[in-house]
Every structure is written in structure tokens, then in C-alpha cells.
């Protein structure tokens, strides 16, 4: 039997799996993308992820969260291998530690630690050519539980960037400068984007300002059209080379890039790499298949050749701190100055990402929508003794059918009530198996106690996997 719980903001998902008796050795930690790059003589000088370790041997913190209620911080580390009936190799983020620390309050991501030996940590982006909305013109920090997903079959959190948010390291070590070669990749939510400038990850200006053409080279994702853009309505996988989102090279920017496809994958892998007189971008579905070459060719024009990169690292905004973009980041890395990974190496990294098994969270809870109106998950407010409808949805993200699914809502106290709408039942059980990728939902009428309430409700799901 497997049990799951999730708040409306994704803050308390827990998974418990019971196995039989017996002695089982823990599986070895799998290799990560940076192990692959190192074996190809292109070592990582930046390795950022809130979802998993990017090296088999990394055991340090992945990111830090700041708690609103008391201002305390907690480093979120890597789950270690465990010997179970089904051995767990670990290597993914300890989301349970975040859930416990952040229960009943908000947390923000203050730092994404660099797993490479260079310690190029990402922290709150300072003001630059554009001011952010936070004190001193800094950018806002991401809310820690806005992007729950699963990796390796376990719940983790991505970095949910809204306009005005961003992280940065303006004093990076080991990154490419001027026209030195470099490679970089990231894994992102392909369905979360906009046309604002600019949802980027990679090499940028050290002063957070626009220092003219060729002073940055990052991966970009979105559907902005003032510069180069692809076919359809987007989004597109491109690079940001300052004053130009580049998806191809032609003599008339207004004609765009007719061979650059719009992307509709839920999880996207994108590569951006450059060397003297030449750059390449690649992209693929992070859950299956190989990468495709989006562009491979010369620099745009003489103002980008040679490049004048400065070597800072940014996430979620533009080189000059333009911060009107949005997107969700899961992992990314940059290779050492002077290295240009081969396409074959990048394909091995893609295979590693696919094997990690990114997937959507199995359970969601949201206010029941009015007819024809989609309602996003979020905090729910109750006046004393009031009632609201809430819908719990379970999606089978496993490869086998789930049977005996039982959905319910855990209310905050004994003075509350939660019944399946139109009944006096506190849970709903589904007799038919739910196939892989399919979903089931139940709507509950929730009645509050005698005190006002503004917070998360908790949804629960339990089921059986007949195969195990």
C-alpha cells in the first residue's frame, strides 16, 4: 500500500511504502550529468538543482529555504541510499525536510548551491539595468513549494519564477569569458513561460547591466518575438546573446526562424553552447528520446564575433536584470571555460535526465471550479462555520495500474467536517484500476470550525500497486 498527502500549495506530500522482511543492499547512487561531462573532459563549473544531485558523489546541500514565521533557514540536502525490499539509491532532494520545516507557513528559496567544486552559488539577484521589486531593487525570491514534481519516483520541488524573481552569481569562478568556449544545459517546465524578457540560465554580465552585443550567452525559453523567433506561437528553445534572442541566423530578423519548432513538452531539456565563430542549441523532451539540433552554425554578425562574455551566472531573468519573464527550473549546469561538449556527450546527458524520470506530482488539491472556470491551487480562506468545495485529483505517474484508490481530505481539527459532495462519506474509493497516466478526482464539501482559517487543506490518496 502506498499513501500520499499533499496540500494545495504542494507543501506536505509524503510517500510511505511498506515492504516485507529481509536484508537488501542499498543500490549505488547513479551517475549525474556532471559525471558525464567530467568523463568527456568538460567538467562542470556550475551545477544547480533543487531536485537531485548532479554528481554521484555529491552529498552537500542542494538549496536553502527561509521560513517566514521566524526568519530561520534550512539547507535541503540529498536523500541517502536505503536498503529496502525495493532498494532506494537516493540522490534526490529531501523534500520531506522542507515540508516539515515549512509546515503552516511560507518558505522562500534563498540559495541554490553549486554542487561543483567552484561553489558558484545562486542567491537573490541584485538590481542592475532594471530594478527588482524587493528592497534595494533586488529581485524577489522564489516561493519554495510552488513547483512540486517527482524525480526518481519521489516528490521534489522545482524553482517557480514569476515576473520580478531571479537568482544570480556575479562573481563566478571558472566560467567562460570573452570568446572562450562553454556548454550549458537546463531542465525546465515546458508549459510555464511568457513573452517577457528573459527566462534565462547561464553566462551573463558581472555588473547586471546591458554591456552590449555578445556580453552574455545563456539558454532561453519563452515566446518573445521582438528578436529572432521560431514557427508557430512558441515557446521556443533559443539562446540569449544580449540584445538578441537567437534561434537561428539569417539576414532578416523579421523573417524569424522557420525551422525552429514550437515546443509542447511538459519537461524540456535544452542545451546552449558556443565557441569561437560558432554556436549550437539543442532541445528535447526530458522524459523520452534524444535531443534535436535546433541550430548549429556561425555567429549572428560581427558584433557577436568574437563574443565578449563576462562569466556571471543568472537564473530566471536577463543579463541586465530585466525581470518580466516566468518559468520553472529543475536543474542545470555549465562546463568549464574553454570546453565545448560534443553532441554525443550532450546526448548522454539527455539519457541521464530521461532515466531520472521527471514526472508531474501524483496528487493535487484545489478549490472546486465554477462551471467552465479553471481554478488554480492556492490557500483557502474560511469564515467560522462556512463551507467550500475542494477537489482532490490523483494522477497515476507509475508504469503500472493503481488499484483501490481512496481519496480524502484531512481537515485541520475535529471541529471541521469533510464529506464527499452529496453524501456523508469522508472518502471516496474507486473500484476500477487507474491506468498509467490516467487521473481520478473527488470533490468534497469542507465545513470549517468556529474560528477563521486561512491556510492549506491537505489531500490524501492511498492505493495498491499489484506488481509490488
Distance CA 320, CA 307 (A): 17
Is 432 one of the catalytic residues? no
Distance CA 79, CA 287 (A): 22
DSSP character string of 141-180: PPBTTS-EEEETTEEEE-EEE-TTB-EEESS-SS---BT-
Backbone angles phi, psi at 327, to 5 degrees: 170, 175
Distance CA 416, CA 36 (A): 53
Backbone angles phi, psi at 22, to 5 degrees: 135, 160
Nearest to 275 by CA among 227, 224, 343, 188: 343
Active-site position among 94, 205, 240, 320? 320
Residue bearing cell 533559443: 238
3-state secondary structure of 254: helix
Cβ-count burial of 136 within 10 angstroms (0-12 exposed, 13-18 middle, 19+ buried)? exposed
Asked if 389 and 446 touch (Cβ cutoff 8 Å), the reply is yes
DSSP character string of 76-102: E-BPPPB--SS-B---BB-HHHHHHHT
CA 406 to centroid of chain Cα atoms: 29
Active-site position among 242, 285, 331, 456? 242
| Strand 380-382 with 236-240, pairing | unpaired
Distance CA 223, CA 61 (A): 34
H helices of 169-270, in order, are none
Distance CA 228, CA 241 (A): 11
Residue bearing cell 474560528: 451
**What are the grid coordinates assigned to 147, written together?**
513547483
Nearest to 143 by CA among 93, 99, 113, 106: 106
| Strand 267-275 with 107-112, pairing | unpaired
Is 170 one of the catalytic residues? no
Give the angle 358-359-361 at the CA atoms, nearest 5°: 130
Which helix (H) or strand (E) segment holds residue 349: the answer is helix 343-356
Which residues are marked as active site? 242, 320
Amino acid at each position: 500500500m502506498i499513501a500520499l498527502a499533499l496540500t494545495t500549495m504542494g507543501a506536505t506530500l509524503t510517500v510511505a511504502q511498506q515492504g516485507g522482511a529481509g536484508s537488501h543492499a542499498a543500490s549505488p547512487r547513479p551517475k549525474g550529468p556532471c559525471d558525464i561531462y567530467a568523463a568527456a573532459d568538460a567538467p562542470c563549473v556550475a551545477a544547480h538543482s533543487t531536485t537531485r544531485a548532479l554528481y554521484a558523489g555529491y552529498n552537500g546541500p542542494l538549496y536553502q529555504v527561509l521560513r517566514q514565521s521566524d526568519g530561520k533557514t534550512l539547507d535541503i540536502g540529498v536523500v541517502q541510499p536505503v536498503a529496502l525490499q525495493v532498494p532506494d539509491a537516493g540522490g534526490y532532494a529531501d523534500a520531506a525536510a522542507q515540508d516539515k520545516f515549512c509546515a503552516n507557513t511560507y518558505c522562500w528559496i534563498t540559495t541554490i548551491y553549486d554542487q561543483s567544486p567552484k561553489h558558484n552559488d545562486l542567491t537573490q539577484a541584485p538590481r542592475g539595468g532594471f530594478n527588482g521589486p524587493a528592497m534595494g531593487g533586488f529581485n524577489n525570491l522564489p516561493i519554495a513549494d510552488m513547483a512540486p514534481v517527482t524525480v526518481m519516483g519521489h516528490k521534489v520541488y522545482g524553482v517557480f519564477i514569476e515576473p520580478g524573481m531571479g537568482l544570480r552569481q556575479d562573481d563566478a569562478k571558472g566560467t567562460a569569458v570573452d570568446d572562450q568556449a562553454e556548454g550549458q544545459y537546463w531542465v525546465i517546465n515546458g508549459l510555464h513561460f511568457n513573452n517577457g524578457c528573459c527566462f534565462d540560465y547561464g553566462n551573463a554580465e558581472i555588473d547586471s547591466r546591458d554591456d552590449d552585443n555578445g556580453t552574455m550567452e545563456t539558454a532561453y525559453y519563452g515566446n518573445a518575438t521582438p528578436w529572432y523567433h521560431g514557427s508557430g506561437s512558441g515557446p521556443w528553445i533559443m539562446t540569449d546573446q544580449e540584445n538578441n534572442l537567437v534561434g537561428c541566423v539569417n539576414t532578416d530578423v523579421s523573417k524569424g526562424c522557420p525551422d525552429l519548432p514550437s515546443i509542447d513538452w511538459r519537461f524540456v531539456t535544452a542545451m546552449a553552447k558556443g565557441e569561437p565563430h560558432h554556436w549550437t542549441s539543442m532541445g528535447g523532451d526530458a522524459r523520452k528520446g534524444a535531443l534535436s539540433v535546433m541550430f548549429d552554425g556561425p555567429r549572428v554578425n560581427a558584433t557577436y564575433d568574437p563574443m565578449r562574455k563576462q562569466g556571471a551566472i543568472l537564473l530566471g531573468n536577463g543579463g541586465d536584470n530585466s525581470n518580466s519573464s516566468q518559468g520553472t527550473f529543475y536543474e542545470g549546469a555549465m562546463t568549464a571555460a574553454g570546453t565545448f561538449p560534443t553532441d554525443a556527450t550532450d546526448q548522454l546527458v539527455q539519457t541521464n535526465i530521461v532515466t531520472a524520470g521527471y514526472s508531474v506530482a501524483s496528487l493535487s488539491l484545489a478549490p472546486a471550479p465554477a462551471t467552465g472556470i479553471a481554478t488554480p491551487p492556492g490557500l483557502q480562506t474560511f469564515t467560522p462555520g462556512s463551507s467550500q468545495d475542494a477537489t482532490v485529483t490523483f494522477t497515476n505517474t507509475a508504469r503500472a495500474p493503481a488499484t483501490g484508490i481512496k481519496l480524502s481530505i484531512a481537515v485541520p481539527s475535529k471541529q471541521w467536517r469533510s464529506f464527499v459532495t452529496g453524501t456523508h462519506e469522508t472518502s471516496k474509493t474507486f473500484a476500477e484500476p487507474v491506468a498509467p497516466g490516467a487521473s481520478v478526482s473527488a470533490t468534497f464539501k469542507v465545513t470549517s470550525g468556529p474560528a477563521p482559517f486561512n491556510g492549506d487543506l491537505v489531500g490524501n490518496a492511498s492505493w495498491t500497486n499489484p506488481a509490488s
